[in-house]
Structure 1
Amino acid sequence: MNGTDAFTLGCVIFGLLLIAKTLGGSFISRLPLSAAMIYLAVGLAIGPSGIGLLELDALTDTVLLERLTEVAVLISLFTAGMKLELPLTDKRWRIPVQLATLSMLVTVAAITALGVYGLGLSLGAAVLLGAILAPTDPVLASDVQVANPQDRDRLRFGLTGEGGLNDGTAFPFIMLGLGLLGVHELGEGGWRWWTVDVLWAVTGGLALGYALGALVGRTILYLRMRHREALGSDEFIALGLIALTYGVALLCQTYGFLAVFAAGLALRRIDDAKPGVEPAAPEPSPQDAALSPEEQAATGAEAPANMMNAVQRFNSQLESFIEVAMVLVIGVLVATVDFRWEVLWFVPVLFLVIRPLAVYIGLVGTHVKGAQRNLMGWFGIRGIGSMYYLLYAINHDIESALAERLLSLTLAVIVASVVIHGVSVTPLMNHYEARKLAKKKQRGDAKA
C-alpha cells in the first residue's frame, strides 16, 4: 500500500470512528463495554498485526510518542481540574489528596517490592516500574469521573481528583527511579531529590499553575465586563492557558502536569468570588447595540459562568478526540511488543491486591466506605499517563533490555485495564447509581 492510499484509507477509518462515536455514543453507554475498547480493536486492525496501515514502535518512535501522550495528558488534566467545583476548604478534598499521596506511596512501594522479589528487577528499575504504573488515568476514566461541575458524589469526585493529582505526584518517584539507575542526579544523600524533585517541583507547580489560571481568567473577565474587549475565542483560553502554564512550569523546573491541573482548578473558581470582588459592568452604551447576542452574554452578569461553560465544553470535546487517537496508537503498538509470561500473574496482582489495598489505606479518616470504597479500589484505571511516563523513562536512556521489559509490563496493564474496566464500568456504575437513587427515595419517604 503506497503512502497516498494509506493516508486516504486512514482518513476514512478515522472519520468513520468519529461519526460512529457520535451516532452510537448513547447506545454504547448502555452496553457492558467502553468506546476505548472499540478504538483498541481498530488500532489492532490497522496495525502491523492487521492491514498494516500504521506502524509505530515504542522503542524507536519514542520522541514522537512521548510528545503525543504528553499533550493528551495535559488536556485531560486541565479538563479534570475544571470539573472540580467544590471549594478547596471542603472536607471532601481529603479524598483525592490522600489517594494521590498516601495511596500513591503504597502503590509504588508495593510494586517496587513485587518488582524486586517477584520480577527480579534492580531497586531502581522496580521503583521506576512502580512510578509508571501507580497513577490512574484521567483520559480513559471519564465514565467514572465527575459528570458536571455541580456533581458532589464522593466516588466520582475522588476518582476525578485522584486522576488529576497523581499524574503529577508520580513524577518524584519517576525521578527517584531514574536516579537509582544512574541517569538522573539525586544529590549527596538524596538532597537534590528531596529539595528540587519533591518539595520545590510539587509545591511550585501547584502554586504557579493556580496563580496563572486565576490571573489569566480574571484578566479576561475584567476586559470583557469593564471594556467590552477580549470577546470570543473561548476555546483559545484553554489551549493558551495549558501551553503557557506548562511552558512556564518547566522553565521553573516544577511539574507541569500539576501546574496545568491547578490552572484548571483556578480558572473554574474565578466566578466564585465574593460580592464586590469582581468589578461591576459599566452602564450600557450605544456601542453595546452592535454586539452579537453571544458577545452580550460574554460581557453581562453571567459572563464568568458563560465563559466556564464554553471552555469546559470545548475541553470535553477535545479530550474525546484525544482519547480516540491515543487508544488507536496503543492498539497499533500491541503488535510490536513481545509480552513476557510474567504479565499473566502481575496484572491480576496489581488490580486485585495492590490497588484495593492502596485505596483502603489511602481513605483512612475519610467518610468513604462500603460500595464507594470498593468501587474506588476497583477503578484504578491505567492508560495514557502510564504510557507517557514509560516513554519519558526510555528517552532518558535507560538500558534497552529494561526498556523492553517495562514496555511489556506497562502495555499489558493498559490493555487489560481498557478491557476489564471497560466491560465492568457500565453495569457497576448503573448499579451504584440505582442504589443511590433508592436510598434517596427511602430517605424522602421516611421524612414524609
Structure 2
Amino acid sequence: MTNALWFVLVGVLMLTRGLSATAIKRLPFTSAIIYLAVGIILGPMVLGIFYFDPIEQSALLELLTEIAVLISLFSAGVKMPVPVKWSTWRAPVRLAWVSMTITVGLIAACCYLFLGMPLGAGILLGAVLAPTDPVLATDVQTRHPGDNDRLRFTLTCEAGMNDGTAFPFVMLGLGLLGLHELGENGWRWLAVDVAWATLGGIAIGVIGGIVIAHAGWKLRGMEQKHDVLDDLVGLGLIAVVYGVAVHFSAWGFLSVFFAGVALRQAELKLAGSAGVKREQLEGEDAGTASAGEGQPQPPHIVSVEALVFKEHLERLSELMLVLLLGGMMVRQYWSWMTVGLALFIFLVARPLSVFVGLIGTNTSMRIRCISAWFGVRGIGSIYYLSYAIQHGLPTELARELIQITLVVITLSILVHGTSVKPLLNRLWKRPGKAGKQVQRGAAN
C-alpha cells in the first residue's frame, strides 16, 4: 500500500470510530474487533493488499508497541483509587505476581512437554503470553479516577503491574537460550533482573511522580487551566521515568505505572493539606464537580486533566496496532497446535492461576470468576516478542513463537471482545451490589 492509501484507510477508520461512537457502545463487541477484521481482510489472509512482517519490521513494531503500552500504563496508574491501602491492593498484587508466575510456568510446561520446545523458549513464550493487556482491556478497566468499582480496579491494577513483572521471565527465557547473561546458578538474574530491576523500577516511578506533583503544585499552585501544558507534563513524566529506569537497568513499565499512581496520590494529598474537601476531589474525579461564582473551586490536578489526552492516544494506538496485527496473520499460522495452546491459556492456565493466586483473600467469587475469564492478551505480548527478536532470537524459533502469539492474541480479541459486554451486563449489572463489594473490599 502507498502512503496515500494508508492515510485514507486510517482516516476512514478514525472517522468511523468517532462518528459512530454511540452505536459502537451498543454493539455486543468491542471496537478492536472491527480494526482486526479490516486488517485481516486487507492482509494476506484475504485480499493481500498489505503484509506487515513482524521479523523484518521488529524494530519498528517494538517501538510502536512500547509507546502504546507506556501511555496505557500511565493512564492506569492515574486511575488508581486514593489512598493506597494494602487491603485494596492485595488481590491485584497477587494476580500480577503469583498468578502471572503460575501462568508462565503452566505455559512453559505445556510447550516443553507437549510441543517439544526448548525450556528457554517455553519460558519466553510464557512470559510473552502471561501478562494481561492494558491497551485492549479498556472495557473491563477503571473508567475514570473516581471509579471505585472493585472488579474494574482489580483488572486495571493487575494489567498495570504485570506488564513489568513479566520482564524477569522474558530475561530468564532469553538467558536459557544463550541470549542473556544469567550468572552462575542464576545469581545475576535473581539479583539484577528480579530484585533490583523490580524494586528499582517501582522506586524510580514513585520518586518521579512525587517530585513532579510537588514541583507542579509549588510552581503553578491552584491555577485552574493549563490545557496542553498538562499533557506535556504527563508525557514528560512518562519519558523521564522510563528513560531513567531503563538507563539504570530497572523495569521501565513498572516505573511508568507507579509514576502515575504516585503523581495522583501526591497531588490529592497536597490538595487535602491545602484544605480542599474530599468531596470536591471526588467530584472532579468523576467529572461531576460544579462550582459557581463565590464557591470554592476544586484544585487543578495535572494527572486528571492530562488523562483525556492519554486516552485519545490509547485509542489511536489501539486502532493502528490491531490493524497491523490483522496484516501479520497468514493462514499457515492457524493449526491445532496454535489454537489448542490458546484454548489451554484461556480455559486452564488463566482460570487456574487466578483461583490459586487469590487463595486466602476475601475477593468475592463473582470477581474471581470474571477475572479468571477476562485475561486479555494483546499489544504487550507483541512488544515482548519484538523485544526478544531484537535481542537475537533465532529466526526459525522466532517464526514459531510469532505464529502462536498472533493466534492467541487474535482469538483473545475475538472471544473476550465478544463476551465482555454481555457477561458484564449479566453478571455485573447491579451497581448497588457492586458498591457493597467495594465497601467490603475496603474493609478487608
Task: Tell me whether the two structures share a fold, i.e. TM-score over 0.5.
Answer: yes
**2:260–2:303 Cα contact (<8 Å) kept:** no
Identify which of 358, 373, 386 aligns with 2:353.
358
1:123 equivalent in structure 2: 119
Letter of the aligned partner of 2:313 in structure 1? L
Q: CA offsets per residue over residues 69-107 of structure 1, 9 Å max, x none? A: 111111111111111123222411001100000001110
Deviation of the 1:217 alpha carbon: 2.2
Residue in structure 1 matched with residue 413 of structure 2 by the alignment: 418
Q: State the match for 1:218 in structure 2.
A: 214
Does the aligned pair in 2 maintain the 1:57–1:336 contact within 8 Å? no
Greater shift, 73-82 or 150-159, is seen at 150-159
How many angstroms apart in 2 are the aligned matches of 1:410 and 1:63? 17
1:137 match: 133
List per-residue Cα deviations over 1:203-231 (Å, max 9, x = no partner).
Answer: 00001011111111221121111899988
- Counterpart secondary structure, 1:100: helix
Q: CA deviation at 1:275?
A: 7.0
Name the CA distance, whole Å, in 2 between partners of 1:318 and 1:366: 35
Say whether the 8 Å CA contact 1:214–1:270 is kept in structure 2. yes
Output the amino acid matched with 2:8.
V
| C-alpha distance in structure 2 between counterparts of 1:41 and 1:221, whole Å | 46
Aligned residue number for residue 156 of structure 2: 160
- Cα distance change of structure 1 residues 276 and 73 upon mapping to structure 2, 3 Å threshold: closer
Aligned-pair CA distance for 1:152: 1.9
CA contact (8 A) 2:28 2:418 kept: yes
Q: 1:191 to 1:45 in 2, by over 3 A?
A: same
Give the residue type in structure 2 aligned to 1:171: F
SS at match of 2:12: helix
Give the distance between the partners of 1:349 and 1:408, measured in 2 at CA.
Answer: 16
Determine whether 1:330 maps to 2:325: yes
Contact 1:85 1:268 in 2 (8 A): no
Which whole-Å CA distance do the structure 1 matches of 2:192 and 2:435 have between them?
A: 48
Whether contact under 8 Å (2:165, 2:198) holds in the other structure is: yes
- 1:17 CA drift (Å): 1.1
* Number of the residue aligned with 1:39: 35
Distance verdict in 2 for CA 1:387–1:227, change over 3 Å = closer
Q: Which residue of 2 aligns with 1:94?
A: 90
Work out the number of aligned pairs and report it. Answer: 418
Instruction: Answer yes or no: is the 8 Å Cα contact 2:79–2:142 preserved in 1.
Output: yes
How far the C-alpha of 1:124 sits from its partner, in A, is 0.7
Task: Give unmatched runs, 5+ long, in structure 2.
Answer: 277-292, 437-444
CA contact (8 A) 2:271 2:299 kept: no
Partner residue in 2 for 1:10: 6
Letter in structure 1 aligned against 2:244:
V
Partner of 2:52: 56
Between 224-233 and 132-141, report the one with greater CA deviation.
224-233
**Per-residue CA shift, 1:112-140, capped at 9, x if unaligned?**
11011111111111111111111000000
Amino acid at match of 1:193: W
> Contact conserved, 2:76 with 2:156, CA < 8 A, in 1?
yes
Instruction: Give the counterpart letter for 2:419 in structure 1.
Output: S
Counterpart CA distance in 2 for 1:229 and 1:35 is 32
Q: Tell me how far apart the structure 1 counterparts of residues 131 and 182 of structure 2 sit (CA, whole Å).
A: 22
Alpha-carbon spacing, 1:27–1:258, altered in 2? closer, same or farther (3 Å): same
Tell me if structure 1 keeps the 8 A contact 2:206–2:259: yes
- Shift of the 226–439 alpha-carbon distance from structure 1 to 2, 3 Å rule, reads closer
The alpha-carbon distance between structure 1 residues 430 and 180, as it changes in their structure 2 partners (threshold 3 A), is same
The correspondence for 2:376, drawn from 355, 365, 381, is 381
Residue type of the partner of 1:259?
S
Q: CA deviation at 1:370?
A: 2.0
Q: Distance in 1 between matches of 2:157 and 2:332?
A: 32
1:243 aligns with 2:239: yes
Distance across 2 between alignment mates of 1:184 and 1:70: 20
Deviation at residue 232 of structure 1 after TM alignment:
5.3
TM-score by length of 2: 0.89
Q: Which amino acid aligns with 1:165?
A: M
Query: Aligned equivalents of 1:258 and 1:236: distance in 2?
Result: 21
- Please tell me the residue identity of whatever aligns with 2:387: Y
Q: What SS does the aligned partner of 2:132 have?
A: coil
Once the two structures are overlaid, the 10-residue window that deviates more, 11-20 or 74-83, is 11-20
1:315 matches 2:310:
yes
1:254 corresponds to which of 226, 250, 253: 250
8 Å Cα contact 1:226-1:279 kept in structure 2: no
CA distance in 1, matches of 2:33, 2:12: 16
Contact 2:140–2:152 at 8 Å: present in 1 too? yes
Greater mean alpha carbon deviation, residues 214-223 or residues 155-164: 214-223
1:195 to 171, 186, 191: 191
Tell me, in whole angstroms, the C-alpha distance in 2 between the residues paired with 1:325 and 1:227: 36
1:293 maps to none
Deviation at 1:43, TM superposition (A): 1.2
Q: Tell me the distance in 2 between the aligned counterparts of 1:48 and 1:243.
A: 36
Alpha-carbon shift at residue 28 of structure 1 (Å) = 1.7
CA offsets, 1:332-361, max 9 Å, x none?
Answer: 111386344301211111101110000001
Q: Where does residue 366 of structure 2 map in the other structure?
A: 371
Of 336-345 and 84-93, deviating more is 336-345
Contact 2:428-2:434 within 8 A present in 1 as well: no
Read off the aligned partner of 1:71 and give its amino acid letter: I
Select the structure of larger CA radius of gyration.
1
The alpha carbon displacement at 1:181 in A equals: 0.6
User: Equivalent of 1:348, from 334, 343, 346?
Assistant: 343
**Which residue matches 1:396?**
391
- For residue 21 of structure 1, give the secondary structure of its aligned residue in structure 2: helix
Q: Aligned residue for 1:444?
A: none
Q: Distance in 2 between matches of 1:102 and 1:74?
A: 23
Match of 1:405 among 400, 403, 416: 400
AA matched with 1:75: I
The answer to whether the 8 Å contact 2:78/2:304 transfers is no
Question: What SS is found at the alignment partner of 2:361?
Answer: coil
Shift of 1:50: 4.6
Between the aligned partners of 2:434 and 2:147, the Cα distance in structure 1 is 17
Residues of 2 paired with 1:266 and 1:349: CA distance? Answer: 37
Structure 1: unaligned runs, 5 residues or longer:
281-296, 442-448
Structure 1 distance, partners of 2:395, 2:327, is: 21
Q: Does 1:21 align with 2:17?
A: yes
